[in-house]
Amino acid sequence: MTETLSSARELSRALEAMQRQLLEAALRRPRYEVLPLDGTADAVVDHVPREVTVTVTASPRRGMEPTLALSESLARQGYRVVPHLAARLVIDESHLRDMLCRISEAGIRDIFVIAGDGEPAGVFPDSLRLLSALREGQGDGLGQHLEQVGVAGYPEGHPDVSDAQLTRALLAKQPSSTYLVTQLCFSARTVSAWVDRMRAAGVSLPVYPGVAGVVDQRKLLRVAQRIGVGQSVRFLRKHHGLLRLLSPGGYRPDGLVRELASRLAPSADDMAGLHVYTLGAVAATERWRREALEQTLEAVDRHRSRRRRVAPPSRYSALALVRHGVTGQAWPRAWDRHEPRDGYDVVIVGGGVHGLATAYYLATNHGIDNVAVLEKSYIGSGGSGRNTAILRSNYLTAEGVQFYDRSLQLYRRLAEELNFNVMFSRRGHLTLAHSDASLRTMRWRAEVNKLSGVDSEVIDADEVQRLVPYLDTSTAARYPILGALYHPPGGIIRHDAVVWGYARAASAFGVHVHQDTEVTGIDVNDGRVRGVQTTRGPIAAPIVVNATAGWSSLISAMAGVRMPVQTFPLQAAVTEPVRPFLHTVVVSGTLHVYMSQTARGEIVFGASVDPFASYSTRGSLDFLEGLASHVLELMPSLATLRVLRQWAGLCDMTPDFAPIMGRTHVEGFLVDVGWGTYGFKAGPVSGEAMAECIATGRTPELISAFGLHRFAEGELVGEKGAAAVGH
Amino acid sequence: MILLPCPWCGPRAADEYAYLGELTPRPDPQRATRTEWRDYLYLRANLAGWTTERWYHRMGCRRYLTVQRHTVSNDVRSVAAAGSGGEP
Ligand SMILES: Cc1cc2nc3c(=O)[nH]c(=O)nc-3n(C[C@H](O)[C@H](O)[C@H](O)COP(=O)(O)OP(=O)(O)OC[C@H]3O[C@@H](n4cnc5c(N)ncnc54)[C@H](O)[C@@H]3O)c2cc1C
Ligand SMILES: [Zn+2]
């Protein structure tokens, strides 16, 4: 009884979280439908931000030209544009071809196909006929640039066509289209009932519910009457009262959008986004959207802080320290031990920072806590316990910079959030330039960083000398230092503490962390993941996440997923502790070496990966020799320091030095791998994004460039310049 | 570091060589689809066990070699001239 109650509670919590996510995503990146009139371009550019997609209707009286012209102009201004193609306005196939050429030249990849009103001007009486022409012409390149083709859905029926006919038409259009936008509607119940009917009939296209923006009521009524959505206008009238409906304040879709999110939340495709009919009121609609988004974000934050209040009990207070010190009493376990359950909602393979962070954010941000992390050895036994713990966000591509910047922000707050001292230490990060070519790339990197609001600048050798007095900045050096890329927010952290902190907090929220539990097989059937085989028996799960870094090829192979990954060892070394003298992190790409001083006073060194792929973590003398000679080139005074230890960890290298995140062709099998020599700093943001991906079924924008499919599509990310020296 | 016995130069330290990666059969460039070609370029088995791979003796005889190596222990089972058989 209590069990069903608590799982019902879990379910409703998860659902609530999904609704909020859905609402936020829908309000953040909606589609605005605008009319191709004079002044529309200005209204859009003045008021609408670029993350909103703009769809341009076709006017039966004025033909396709104004639609195309406005679409081209908005695309030039940097908008994602969707022109409406009205079948009845298209004369013949060559007209269609011309239009698609213009559309493709404007960089537009998405069109919306409708029948259009009035008598056909040419050979296409309805949208189906046009879609078929598109499909048949595909062989010789017709519309080959299109990625999306939308068609209309009619939750309230159509004034001239029967429901059965409408459904049959949709089924016929389905193979040549990729999404559905519904006709204007005012009742979430009507939309969700219609979605259910369509799904039952076999229509599986993602749905964008269409709602009116903030518009004058009279205009709204007129439009509604014309397109025959009488039923929901009656609904509107009943709920708002005729007077309010006609009041000058105008209609606001707040309630409708919220209810749509709550009814359609369980399946991501039922509300793939929001389509807003602006009906000429672009500015007012945009004002409304901002307010609504702000309110949603506040609600999300409130929800999070409410959950955070039940965060791990603060066992590690100063008082507790004194008490334990005086009494000699043992500390309680930081995370609990459990017998594995028969099944979990989510199984995460790999107990490094990525796996543990994903589990933590699933539980805290999404209320999904029936989660297990399976680790074949002890947590942090992989790269997460072996890295040199350097954090930075001065990458080379805009995607990279934004992504790592978010991670740094999370790291800065992590100690407080987890009530665990992760010893984040902001040091400043210097990448030395020994050649004009590297100075040039650094200027480029600095500009990319600044554009994303990340602090980076190129400094000269004198400034370098001031920051790091012991560096050999003389021109007599074998590789003289010409300058450096200086990144003040960079720093170091205590890597083990991060792993332990996440494990402890996740465990407090109900996540099971199973150490000494090796995954030996993955059960897949019908293209879906069913669970895993482990050294402690089988565990069922509809979602399995591969977060095993150096071992990730082996885990993916168990699910039948091939990967562009090669495993290389990366070595590091540490000296005896000395008094603090090195504040910043110093990196030299040319000399393949980087160093920092820990809080304990040791100097930690790292270098590039070993010269050949291997799963062996044995250190080598070659590495140490090479490292020592390079370090002495940079800082001759270190010659008297003794090395205490050296070690190696496994790195999952990808062809483009960027990670692989998100879904795979096996449903329910997700990857968060390809972290190579630089993935520790990405732990928090990856955990957050993977948790969102799992909870919502959608790939967050922040990681959309990192999908596995990019290799088959040839869309590699160019991060080599900023990530090739390990760290 | 490991020693690789070059058939021409004898046992030499691995850093005399360039490691060129595991051997995968190359599709016919004339016929391969883009996807097949990209799969060939990027996808790797990355096995933990015996693998057949290509090395180049860049600081020695400058010949290409086919090497069978265990990627966990780094034991080397055989080294032969490239193209002399034993390749997938
Ligand atoms: C020497 C070195 C220095 C580095 N320096 C930096 C740096 O300065 N900054 C930075 O950002 N990154 C750095 N990195 C990279 C960073 O360490 C990794 O990218 C990161 O730790 C990967 O974390 P993860 O959680 O994905 O994987 P890992 O921490 O490697 O965790 C994977 C886990 O999966 C487990 N596992 C494997 N197979 C199985 C199985 N079959 N069943 C169950 N569990 C399994 C492993 O035991 C392991 O614990 C460095 C790496 C090394 C080796
Ligand atoms: Zn040789």
pLDDT band of residue A184 (cuts 50, 70, 90) is confident
Residue B52 CA, ligand 2 centroid: distance in Å: 18
Residues A14-24, mean pLDDT to the nearest whole number: 77
Q: Which tens digit of pLDDT belongs to each residue from A45-64?
A: 988 988 899 999 998 888 99
pLDDT band of residue A717 (cuts 50, 70, 90) is confident
pLDDT of residue A244: 46
Q: Name the residue range of residue B61's domain.
A: 3-81
Residues A468-480, mean pLDDT to the nearest whole number: 93
Asked if pLDDT for residue A294 goes beyond 60, the answer is yes
Distance of CA A633 to the CA centre of its chain: 41
Q: Which tens digit of pLDDT belongs to each residue from A569-608?
A: 999 999 999 999 999 999 999 999 999 999 999 999 999 9
B58 inside domain: yes
Asked if pLDDT for residue A719 goes beyond 80, the answer is no
pLDDT band of residue A224 (cuts 50, 70, 90) is low
Domain A425-493+566-653: CATH class, spelled out:
alpha beta
Which range among A220-234, A266-280, A527-541 shows the weakest confidence by mean pLDDT?
A220-234
B87 inside domain: no
Contacts of A618 in chain B (CB under 8 A): 74
pLDDT band of residue A185 (cuts 50, 70, 90) is confident
Q: Which tens digit of pLDDT belongs to each residue from A606-616?
A: 999 999 999 99
Would you say the CB of residue A388 lies under 6 angstroms from ligand 1?
yes
pLDDT of residue A241: 45
pLDDT of residue A255: 82
pLDDT of residue A723: 63
Q: Where are the beta strands (DSSP E) in A576-668?
A: 585-588, 593-597, 603-609, 643-653, 660-663
Asked if pLDDT for residue B6 goes beyond 60, the answer is yes
Better-scored residue on pLDDT, A381 or A301: A381
Asked if pLDDT for residue A373 goes beyond 90, the answer is yes
Better-scored residue on pLDDT, A250 or A295: A295
B15 inside domain: yes
pLDDT band of residue A304 (cuts 50, 70, 90) is low
pLDDT of residue A243: 42
Partners of A519 in the beta sheet? A534
Residue A320 CA, ligand 1 centroid: distance in Å: 32
Q: Regarding the domain delimited by A2-212+254-282, which CATH topology (the fold level of the hierarchy) does it fall under?
A: TIM Barrel (3.20.20)
B7 inside domain: yes
Residues A370-374, mean pLDDT to the nearest whole number: 97
pLDDT of residue A292: 84
Q: Where are the beta strands (DSSP E) in A106-147?
A: 110-114
B88 inside domain: no
pLDDT of residue A61: 86
Look at residues A627, A639, A350 and name the one whose alpha carbon lies nearest to residue A502.
Answer: A350
Q: Where are the domains of chain A?
A: 2-212+254-282, 309-320+344-424+494-563+655-727, 425-493+566-653
Asked if pLDDT for residue A225 goes beyond 70, the answer is no
Q: Output the domain CATH number for residue B42.
A: 3.30.2270.10
- Correct CATH for A309-320+344-424+494-563+655-727 of 3.40.50.170, 3.40.50.1100, 3.50.50.60, 3.40.50.150: 3.50.50.60
Give the closest-approach CA distance of A165 to chain B in angstroms: 40
pLDDT of residue A242: 44
The pTM of this model reads 0.68
Asked if pLDDT for residue A305 goes beyond 60, the answer is no
What is the percent of chain A with per-residue pLDDT over 70, rounded to a whole number? 91
A619 near B CB under 8 A: no
pLDDT of residue A519: 98
Asked if pLDDT for residue A724 goes beyond 60, the answer is no
Would you say the CB of residue A569 lies under 6 angstroms from ligand 1?
no
Residues B19-23, mean pLDDT to the nearest whole number: 96
* Number of domains making up chain B: 1
Residue A479 CA, ligand 1 centroid: distance in Å: 32
Better-scored residue on pLDDT, A68 or A215: A68
Indicate if the alpha-carbon torsion angle A124, A126, A132, A135 is positive or negative.
positive
Would you say the CB of residue A606 lies under 6 angstroms from ligand 1?
yes
Contact A613 B19 (CB under 8 A): yes
First CA to last CA across chain A, in angstroms?
51
Which range among A25-34, A530-539, A542-551, A715-724 shows the weakest confidence by mean pLDDT?
A715-724
pLDDT of residue A603: 97
Q: 3-class SS at A671?
A: strand
Q: What is the mean pLDDT of chain A?
A: 89
Task: Show which of residues 68-87 on chain B sit within 8 Å of chain A, judged by CB atoms.
Answer: 71-74
DSSP secondary structure letter of residue A667? B
pLDDT of residue A266: 74
Residues A244-270, mean pLDDT to the nearest whole number: 74
What is the percent of chain B with per-residue pLDDT over 90, rounded to a whole number? 86
Distance CA A88, CA A120 (A): 4
Distance of CA A630 to the CA centre of its chain: 38
Partners of A151 in the beta sheet? A113, A180
B68 inside domain: yes
Q: Where are the beta strands (DSSP E) in A353-469?
A: 371-374, 390-391, 425-426, 429-433, 457-460
The reply to whether A309-320+344-424+494-563+655-727 shares the fold of A2-212+254-282 is no
Which range among A17-31, A108-122, A392-406 shows the weakest confidence by mean pLDDT?
A17-31
